[in-house]
Structure 1
C-alpha cells in the first residue's frame, strides 16, 4: 500500500452539484442471478436520462470485461470485485452523477464496505456532506430465479459445472434493512422503476436547490 501520497485540493462536492444542477448518489442493486436487477437498473437509467439527469450503470458487462477482468469468482475475488465497484461508484457519485450498480454482491460485509465508503469524509474537502447510498434489494424466490434462468447458469450449477454459484453452492446474504425492497416476481419492470423514483423523490434526491433558494426540479 502506498504511503507517500497526499490529497490535492480540488473542487468541493457542493460546487460540482451546483454547477451540474443535480445531486450525486449511488443506487446499489443486489439480488440473485436472474432476479431482474439489470433489467430494472437499465430501465431506471433510461428513465433518469430522459429526465435530463446524468446517470450511469455499472454491471458485469462493463466491469467484469474491463476493470475487473483479472478477478475470478472465489470469495476473495468476489470481495475485491465489490470493493473496486464501490470505489468506482463513489467517484461517479462524487462527480454529481447518479451511479447505478447491478451486481449480485452476495455478502453483507462487502455491501457495508461500499456503504461506508460513501459515508466517509472527503480528505480534500472535509466539509462535504456524505454521499447518499441506497441499497435496492431485488428479491425473488430461488425457485422462480431457477425457472427464469435466461443464461442456463442455474442448470449448470445444479450439474456441478459452475463451482461457487450464488444460491446453489455459495451463499447469498439478503439485506436486512435495504432502503428499497422490490419483489420482482410481483412487480413489473415499470412498477419497479416507479417505486424507486418515488423513493428518490421522497428523499429530495432528484432536485437541487439553487443558491437563491429556488428549487431546480426534474
Structure 2
C-alpha cells in the first residue's frame, strides 16, 4: 500500500511549506483541480525542486468526448507525472482512446478511472446513475479494466469486491481515508487504515488529517508505519 498526500491548501505557498516538512518521505503528492487551476503545470516543477523523489499524482478527473480526453492524456503524460484520473462514466470508447494515446509513451503514467466519488451516498448516487452504488461501481470497474485502465478510484468499501470481480492485481486507489478516526467532513464513505489494509487498497489518499495536523511530518510518519 502506498500513501498519497492531497495538496488542498488555500495557497501555493502553504502547499509548498507542507511539502518542505515532508522531504525524504516515500509519498505520492496529489495535485487536484484547485491547485492545478490556480498554480498551473509550473507548480509540478516547484514540487520536484523540493524533493525529486516525490511521486506526482495529477487528479483532474477527465470527463469529455474521446478525442478531447485522448489529447488531454497525452499532455498529462508529457508532464512526467506518475498517475492521473479520469471518470469511468466517460465510457469505454473514451477510455480506449486514452489507453491508445498513453501507449505511445515509453514511460507512461498509470490511469485510474473514477467509479463513484466518495462524497456520494446511496441516495445521491442513485439519483444520478439510477442504479445501486455497489453494483454500478463493479460494472464501472470492469468497463475500465476492459478498456485499458490500470485501476479505479473507489471507496475502501468497494475495493476488495472490485478486485474479486475484476482481478486481484487490478489497482484500487481509495480516497476518504481518516487514518486515526478523524471527522469525515464532506466525505460519506470514509475508512481508517485498518479497513484500507483489509480491503487490499493499493493507494490511499489522505488530506485533511495531514495538512490540518500541527505536526504534519509526524502524522505522515505515523501513517507510513501503519501501512508498512
Same structural fold, with TM-score higher than 0.5 when normalized by the shorter chain: no
TM range (shorter): 0.3 to 0.5
Larger C-alpha radius of gyration, 1 or 2? 1
TM-score by length of 1: 0.36
TM-score by length of 2: 0.35
